[in-house]
């Protein structure tokens, strides 16, 4: 089974979240912590995803600088032919930075900091953490600013082309939201699973024209990658 895209969609961007990581398997917050790497399942799913995408002609690939995204991209690029000079590593695609929680269990954070956790889930645009016990850092606002800058840098370079972005759940949510003009208040709206695929089209190549045409596709992980079926996507 492979994904086949219809031609003539302007600039098309395929967003992919990394495969299952060690922190995912343990239920830990990852953020920008770079100790988390792919599990064997994560590598397997990345290979399946590579086969699912191999019929798409990608003009460029952009990858987060964190290990789990790098390892996912490595598995995929074993299958997808992309020129080395068309592969880019971007710090702007790093995961949402949650400095006080990274490495902690979800359950521990929820039970130990219930009011703070509630604010994070209900009003992420107002949520902040202290850095060095003095500076207020707003994770969602910082992430949205980063990905907004990413779009503004990348889209003008690739008008009318097809791009693959290998990043993170939070990063991809923010990429989708900024492409659609949705504010950080709704950060938790677009959930992204491991190796989930979303597609955003920009008919005129501009950020203001973003259209979400696929959201968190992951059924390819439940079928054999050797099947010859093709799925047409608009």
Helices 67-77 and 40-53 sit at what angle, rounded to 10 degrees? 50
Q: In whole angstroms, what is the distance from residue 130 CA to residue 33 CA?
A: 17
Listed by start position, the domains of the chain span 11-106+139-226
pTM: 0.92
Helices (H), 62-165: 67-77, 106-112, 114-122, 139-154
Residues designated as active site: 18, 95
Q: Which residues contact 78 (CB under 8 A, 6 or more apart)?
A: 47, 50
Which two tokens mark 36?
């988390």
15 DSSP β-pair partners: 165, 198
Task: Say what the pLDDT of residue 8 is.
Answer: 65
CATH class of 11-106+139-226: alpha beta
pLDDT single digits (tens) 84-121: 999 999 999 999 999 999 999 999 999 999 999 999 99
What 8-state DSSP symbol labels residue 96?
P
Among 76, 17, 71, 78, which residue's Cα sits nearest to residue 39?
71
pLDDT at 7: 67
pLDDT < 50 stretches in the chain: 224-234
| Cβ partners under 8 Å of residue 50, min gap 6 | 75, 76, 77, 78, 79, 80
Task: Copy the structure tokens of residue 11.
Answer: 């600039």
Can you spell out the DSSP letters for 202-226? Answer: ETTSSGGG-EEEEEEE-GGGGS-TT
Say if residue 84 is exposed, middle or buried (CB neighbours under 10 Å; 0-12, 13-18, 19+): exposed
């Amino acid at each position: 089974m492979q994904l086949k895209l219809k031609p003539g969609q302007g600039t098309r961007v395929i967003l992919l979240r990394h495969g299952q990581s060690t922190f995912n398997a343990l239920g830990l917050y990852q953020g920008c912590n770079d100790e988390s790497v792919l599990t064997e399942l994560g590598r397997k799913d990345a290979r399946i995803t590579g086969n699912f995408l191999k019929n798409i002609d990608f003009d460029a690939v952009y990858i987060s600088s964190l290990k789990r995204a790098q390892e996912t991209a490595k598995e995929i690029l074993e299958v997808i032919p992309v020129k080395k000079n068309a592969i880019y590593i971007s710090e702007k695609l790093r995961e949402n930075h949650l400095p006080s929680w990274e490495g902690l269990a979800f359950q521990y954070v929820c039970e130990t900091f219930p009011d703070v956790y509630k604010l994070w889930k209900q009003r992420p645009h107002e949520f902040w953490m202290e850095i060095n016990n003095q500076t207020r850092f707003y994770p969602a606002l910082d992430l949205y600013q980063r990905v907004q800058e990413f779009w503004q840098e990348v889209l003008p370079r690739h008008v009318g082309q097809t791009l693959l972005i290998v990043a993170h759940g939070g990063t991809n949510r923010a990429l989708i939201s900024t492409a659609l003009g949705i504010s950080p208040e709704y950060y938790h709206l677009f959930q992204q699973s491991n190796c989930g695929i979303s597609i955003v089209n920009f008919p005129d190549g501009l950020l203001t024209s973003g259209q979400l045409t696929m959201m968190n596709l992951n059924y390819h992980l439940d079928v054999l990658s050797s099947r010859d079926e093709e799925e047409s996507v608009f």
